[in-house]
Structure 1
Amino acid sequence: MNSLQLERRRGLERLPRVQRERLSHIDFKLYFLGELRRADVVERFETGPAGATRDIALYRDIAPENLELDPGTKTYRPAADFTPLFEHQPQRVLTALSKGFGEGIGDQLQPMVRCEFPNALSLPRMSVLAPITRAIHRGKAVRLGYTSIESGKTERELVPLALVDTGIRWHVRAFDRKSQQFRDFVFTRMESPTLLEDSPVAREETVEHDVQWSRIIELELVPHPKHPRPEVVKLDYDMPGGVLTVKVRAATAGYMLRRWNVDCSPDHSLVGPEYALWLADPLALYGASSAALAPGYRDPRPDGTHRIVKAL
């Protein structure tokens, strides 16, 4: 970042947040869609035409070289020397482009450009999700019915701690008062959760005492030794040095490695085009409760015992 960009960023930080949001939207439209109309600001923020005109004028004052007006269509377009004023995070940008901003009550998600992505086959019901997120936010326990592969349908008291997206489904990390353990519970197997207002949460039931959640594992992923084009893998994963280092929680490491199709066998024995990456040191997963979910993982203990991941 050069000195001019740094000065502009500092100037933006002094503006009210709502105004920064409007300027960021202008920046987004120019950068990723290549055009901006006054109506875009009016519709997005439900502001009047005069207010939108002032926002665009302020943007032009800050970065006059970023946009130029097409008088025929009254559309602003990014100039040849356009440099974004804001740092746009890739995940948020891709979500906006593929699903829209989703503003408004009951609005259907509409992509901003043509795109295709897999439909989610398993989503929590809102009547189940809401009590769980309230419990996480307020530090409360819930009572619910839960159907598991191992025990069938039972009644449980859980202390929900966090939501987890495995890429295939959502689950909640929680303390289970029945087993007296921290475990993973799938949303779609829950029924009628009720917030327990008068059931105090003990210290040993809180997230600070979930060792698997608190433990951070550093993983070094490298191009799979059997991949025919390791240079392509380095490009795909932005790893010019040949190593991609990621940090994950012990409680979720197995889920993430499965989602990324990382071969975690000690002898990189998994074969297939889906295995572009290999975990250079599978022992990094030692002791992680979710390790058994990692593709090809072999428990180094002689008896091969490991803690079963109860969300399966």
Structure 2
Amino acid sequence: MSNEKLSALTQPQRDRLAFVELRVRFIGEIRRQDLVSRFGIQSAAATRDLALYKDIGPNNIDYDAKGKSYVIGTDFSPLFDFPPERVLTWLSQGFGDGEPLLLKPWVSCEIPTRLTEPYLAILAAVTRAIHLQCPLKIEYFSITSGKSVREIVPFALTDNGLRWHLRAFDRKSQEFRDFVITRIKQPVVMKGAEVLTHERSDQDIQWTRIVELDLVPHPDQPYPEITEMDYAMRNGILHVKLRAATAGYTLRKWNVDCSPDHSLHSHEYRLWLSDSLALYGVGNAKLAPGYRAPMTGNSTSLDRK
């Protein structure tokens, strides 16, 4: 029945209802002004759209008189089938929030497929907890410790190029950690629960610290001038700034040789970190290819494990 009602609407109406669903499902709430701002419609029209969405999906949204907003219903069931990659694009880049259609590209374009994508039901609970700034109770499956029940305080999503992570304070270990979203089960948003000062993102040293890195053409690879062109280097240097919490993941994704003596010679290493000491104190520096902690002499490169 809901599909029949949706098909009877105009495309602009369906786009607005799709936006309502995205906001409610992944942010946890929507106000009339959100529709007014996004689509340039009058307040009365926004009210009608919200009423129409509630008519088609009566269990999907409830009105919160205290917050003067519509919030996700306890028996929510999606009306729209959004692909996970589009939801993540919307969450991370803020566009593509109309009705999910199979659109033809303007030019032929081939994009690598991700091997893992989070379940939208799990992702939705995670993003609502982030937006509402409240704790999240989860079942988490770790390779080292197996299944455990945890309370975490999430505040950001991170993409390491292979899979999506969640940055959060872990009340079990009492420290900030990364959690793989596909390893989360049974999430419960603890709306209204207290978040302590030491659990907030501004207390995460690895998240707030910015490391500045100089990447140069790999000394042992041919044609450095082509590498300079490929990466739009200035004076042979690509200067980048990264959060310490994401630096190791990013350098691995970019295939940057982070050994102090540029000792990784495979052809994929076209870039070299000219000063490996810039990673000193970075918690996940061990993920960077070839990185060796100062004074130890022991390689922690993933390539040599």
Contact 2:292 2:299 in 1 (8 A): no
1:202 to 171, 196, 202: 196
Q: Deviation of residue 197 (structure 1)?
A: 2.1
Cα deviations across residues 21-49 of structure 1 (Å, max 9, x unaligned)?
xxxxxxxxxxxxxxxxxxxxxxxx9xxxx
2:273 to 273, 279, 303: 279
For 1:270, give the aligned amino acid.
Answer: L
Q: Is 2:235 aligned against 1:235?
A: no
Alpha-carbon spacing, 1:109–1:288, altered in 2? closer, same or farther (3 Å): farther
Scaled by the length of structure 1, what TM-score is found? Answer: 0.64
Q: Is 2:259 aligned against 1:265?
A: yes
Corresponding residue for residue 285 of structure 2: 291
The CA distance in 2 between the partners of 1:291 and 1:163, in whole Å, is 19
Q: Is 2:132 aligned against 1:138?
A: yes
Aligned pairs for 1:132-281 (under 5 A) are 132-281=126-275
Alpha-carbon spacing, 1:200–1:182, altered in 2? closer, same or farther (3 Å): same
The CA distance in 2 between the partners of 1:110 and 1:210, in whole Å, is 43
The CA distance in 2 between the partners of 1:273 and 1:172, in whole Å, is 32
1:106 to 88, 93, 100: 100
Structure showing greater radius of gyration is 1
- Helix, strand or coil at the partner of 2:144: coil
Alpha-carbon spacing, 1:223–1:201, altered in 2? closer, same or farther (3 Å): same
Q: Deviation of residue 232 (structure 1)?
A: 0.3
- Show structure 1 runs of 5+ residues with no match: 1-44, 46-94, 96-100, 307-312
Q: Deviation of residue 236 (structure 1)?
A: 0.2
Alpha-carbon spacing, 1:195–1:219, altered in 2? closer, same or farther (3 Å): same
Alpha-carbon spacing, 1:113–1:199, altered in 2? closer, same or farther (3 Å): same
Alpha-carbon spacing, 1:103–1:200, altered in 2? closer, same or farther (3 Å): closer
Cα deviations across residues 98-135 of structure 1 (Å, max 9, x unaligned)?
xxx85642323542210111101111111011111111
Contact 2:129 2:191 in 1 (8 A): no
Q: % of aligned pairs identical?
A: 56
- Helix, strand or coil at the partner of 1:267: coil
Corresponding residue for residue 117 of structure 2: 123
- Helix, strand or coil at the partner of 1:258: helix
Give the number of equivalent residue pairs.
211
Contact 2:258 2:291 in 1 (8 A): yes
Q: Deviation of residue 192 (structure 1)?
A: 1.4
